[in-house]
Amino acid sequence: MKNLNEQQQKKKNTRLAIALGAFALLVLVTSFPFWQAVLVEISKSN
């Protein structure tokens, strides 16, 4: 890890946190239509 000053470190942390939060939201949003389409088909495949 590189030595960063406090402000740089906070900026870096915030950026990564926002990216991860956006990813979690993406998972949440895609869970609605995606799973309904795919998993209903799996359920019906018997």
Binding status of residue 5 toward other proteins by CB under 8 A: no
The number of CA neighbours under 13 Å toward the Cβ of 21 is 6
Q: What is the DSSP letter of 45?
A: T
Sign of the Cα torsion 12, 15, 18, 19 reads: negative
Binding status of residue 3 toward other proteins by CB under 8 A: yes
Closest CB 36 distance from other proteins, rounded Å: 6
The contact set with other proteins (CB under 8 A) reads 1-3, 9, 12-14, 16-17, 20-21, 23-25, 27-28, 31-32, 35-36, 39-40, 42-46
